[in-house]
Amino acid sequence: MVQLMPVVSDPPAERVVMHNHNEIRAQAMNAIRRLAEVAQARMATVTHQGQTVARAEVLNELADKLEKNEFVLAVVGEFSRGKSTLINALLGYPDLLPTSIEPTTAAITLISYGETPTASVVFADGTVKEDISLEELRAYVRGANLDGSDLKTRLTQRVQQAQRENRLHQLSYEDLSREAQAQLHRTVSGRRVKEVRLTLPSPFLKDGICLVDTPGIGSVNPEHGEATRHFVHRADAVIFLINTDPVISASECNFLAFLRDHVRRFLFAVTKIDRFTEEEREQSLAYTWQTIVNFADIQNPPIFPISARLALEGRQENNPAKLAQSGFPAFVRALDVFLVRERGQAFVREQVAHALRHLTDLRNAVEMEWEGLTVPLEELQQRIAATRPELEKARQAYQDILRSLERTTQDILRSLEGPAGINFMRLSMRLQEDVLKQVDEYDWKQLRHASELIPLFVRDRLTQELGQKLSEITDRVLQLRIDVLSQCRSIVSEMSQNVGLHFRSLRTPREMDIEFDFDTNAFYDELKKVSTITIGSTLALTIASVALFGGMGAVVMLGGLLAGTTLTPVLRHRVRQQLKRELPKPLSELSHTLLQNIKAEVLQHLQQFQTDVSRMLDSAMSSVEDTLTQLEKEASSTEFNTAERRATLAAQRETLAQIEDELTLLIGPGW
C-alpha cells in the first residue's frame, strides 16, 4: 500500500535556498502581472512577425512562465544502485516505486507536483492509459531480467553440460544466437511502455521540480540505455548514483566518458553508505572521486555520500540524528543550490529582462503622451505628422536587417558543406576503416562493451575532425550577432533622435534592451553535444542490439567459460565478423545525420536570435506607434478631459517607476 509521509507547512531547513528562489520568482511574477495591468489600461499592442497582439497578453505569458517554472531533475545509474529508493526518500513516499535487490525500472518515469496523486502510462505506439492507481503502478515500471542474468545462467548451464558430455565442439554460434533471441522475446514481450507520468502532493515537487527515474545503465535491452542518454540531454540537472560496493563499473565509466560534454550538470551520490565502516566509505569515495575525474574530466566533482534508507527511517521515526547520519539534508541543500545556480537564476533573469523592455516602451509612451498634452492642438498635429515618416524609415531599416540576417544564416549553413566545408563522405570512409581496425584489436572484455566503446572511439575521432569547423561556425555566429546588434542600436538611436526632435520626452531604450547574452564557449559546447547525441543514437543502439541479442552477445557472455577451449578463437572470430558486418551501415548514415543535426542546431539558434531581434525592434517601434495613435485620437476629440488624463498618466508614471525599481532590484548585481 502506498503511504504518504507527513507533510509540514514550513520548508525544511535544507530547502531554504529553493524557498528563497521561489520567493524571488513570485515577486517577479507579481510585478510583471502589475505591469500587464498598466499595458491593459493603455490598450497597448506590440507587433511581432507581422502580427499585432496585446502587450498585456505578452506580459502575462512571461508571468505564466515564472509561475510554471520547472526544473527537470533526472536520476541515473546502473541497476540496483538505489535510484528508486532515493526517489522515494526525496518524495516522502516510502513504497511509491518498487525497490529490491533485482533491477526493476524498465520505463522513464516522470513525477511532478499535483494536489492529488494521479498516474498514466504512455505506450510506444502513442496510446495513453489514464487513471492508474498507485498500487497498479508497479506493473508498468517493473521489468524482468533486465541485467541479462537469466540468459547468462541458461548459457552457462548449456556449456557446463556440453563439457560434461564431451561435446563442447558441437556448441554452435547459431544455437547461442537463438537462445539470446528467445531471451530478448521473454524480456520485452507485451506492450512496450515509453514513459510513466505521475503527479503527487509532495513538498519536494512543489518547488517546481519534475523528478525523472530512468532505466538503469547496462540493461540487456539497448533501448533503455538509449532512453537514458536522451533524457540526460534534456535534463536541467542529473543525479548520478554510484554504490560503495561494488565500486563504479566499466559501464558507468564509459557512460560518463561518452557524456563528458554534459557532466557539468551532474551531482554524484554514493549510496548505501550505512552498510560500511567509516574507513571503507572513505576509501570508496576517494576511488570514486578519482575515477570521475579521469573519465568525466571534472576536476572537483560534487560527490555526496548518502543513505536513502536511513533518511526514510529518520523521517518516519522523527529522528533528527538518524536523518543527519543519512547525509540527506546536506545532499538536498547542495541539490537546491545547484539547481538555482545553474538554471533558476538565469530563467528568472530572462523573464525579468523581457519585462523591463516592455516597461521601457510603456514608460516612453506615457512620457510622450504627457508631453503631447502640454502643447497646443495645432502644434501637436504638426509633431505627429513629422514623426510618422521617421518611424516608417526605422521600420524599413529593420526589414533590411531581417533580410540580411536570413541571407547570412543560409550562407553559414552552406559553409558546413562544399569545398570549404567538411567532406563528410571522405570522413565517413575514414571512420569505417578506423573503427573496423579497432574491432579487430578488441579482446573479450572490450567486445562485451562494444556498444559503449565504439561510440566513444567515434566521438573522439569526430571531435578532432570537426573541432576546427565547429569553432569557425561559432566565430561566424558571434560576428553575425555583433553586426546585427550594432545595426539595431543604430536604428533605435536614430529613431529616438529623430522622434526626439518632435517629442523630447522619448527616452532611448537602455543598452540592455538590445543586448542578448551569447556565450561562445557554451554555443560551441552545444554543437559538440549535438554530435555526441547523434553518435549515440546512430551507433549505440545498433551495436547493442547485435552485441546483446545476437550470437555475438551470447558468446561474449561466455567468454570466461570458453577461455582456453578450442572454441575460443573460432567464436571470437565470428563475433568480430558479425560486428564488422553490422557497423558500416550506421557508420555511413552517421555523417549525413550528424551534418543535418549540426545544421539544425545552428539554424535553431539563429532563428531564435532573429525572433529576439524582431521582438526588441517591434516592441520599441510599437510603443511610438501606439502613442502617436493615442495622441491623434485625443487631438481630434472635443470632449477630451485633459485634467483627468493627466491624473491617469501621473498614476501610470508612478506605478511604472515602482515596478521598474522592483524588477531591477531582482536582477541586480550579486543576486
State how far the Cα of 176 lies from the Cα of 573, in Å rounded to an integer: 15
Q: What are the CA-CA distances from residue 409 to residues 106, 406, 470 (Å)?
A: 42, 5, 15
Position 347 scores a pLDDT of 87
| % pLDDT > 90, the chain | 11
Handedness of CA 75, 80, 86, 91 (dihedral sign): positive
State how far the Cα of 279 lies from the Cα of 258, in Å rounded to an integer: 31
Contact 273, 305 (CB under 8 A): yes
Position 234 scores a pLDDT of 77
State how far the Cα of 251 lies from the Cα of 452, in Å rounded to an integer: 7
The stretches in the chain having pLDDT less than 50 are 1-11, 100-104, 145-146, 189, 510-512, 670-671
Position 187 scores a pLDDT of 52
Half-sphere exposure of 332 toward its Cβ, with a 13 Å CA cutoff? 27
Contact 191, 86 (CB under 8 A): no
Position 7 scores a pLDDT of 39
Question: Can you tell me which residue has the cell 546512430?
Answer: 538
Contact 493, 486 (CB under 8 A): no
Q: Who's near 151: CB < 8 A, 6+ residues apart?
A: 145, 179, 180, 183, 220, 554, 557
Side chain identity at residue 303, one-letter code: I
Contact 69, 25 (CB under 8 A): yes
Q: C-alpha grid cell for residue 33? A: 502581472
Q: What are the CA-CA distances from residue 504 to residues 80, 209, 617, 651 (Å)?
A: 70, 48, 20, 21
User: Which residue from 222, 235, 306 is spatially nearest to 272, judged by alpha carbons?
Assistant: 306
CA torsion 566-569-575-576 (nearest 10°) is -170
State how far the Cα of 86 lies from the Cα of 284, in Å rounded to an integer: 19
User: Which residue from 462, 475, 473, 586 is spatially nearest to 531, judged by alpha carbons?
Assistant: 462
The 3-state DSSP class for residue 255 equals: helix
In sequence order, what E strands does 184-337 have?
A: 193-200, 209-213, 237-243, 266-271, 303-305
State how far the Cα of 137 lies from the Cα of 119, in Å rounded to an integer: 8
- DSSP letter, residue 106: -
Position 289 scores a pLDDT of 86
In sequence order, what E strands does 594-645 have?
A: none
Q: What is the CATH number of domain 70-326?
A: 3.40.50.300
Show me where the domains of the chain are located: 70-326, 375-506+514-636
pTM above 0.85, yes or no: no
Contact 43, 652 (CB under 8 A): no
Q: C-alpha grid cell for residue 212? A: 525523472
Contact 351, 65 (CB under 8 A): yes
For residue 657, report the phi and psi dihedrals to the nearest 5 degrees: -65, -40
- Give the count of beta carbons closer than 10 Å to the beta carbon of residue 37: 14
User: Which residue from 362, 359, 367 is spatially nearest to 660, judged by alpha carbons?
Assistant: 359
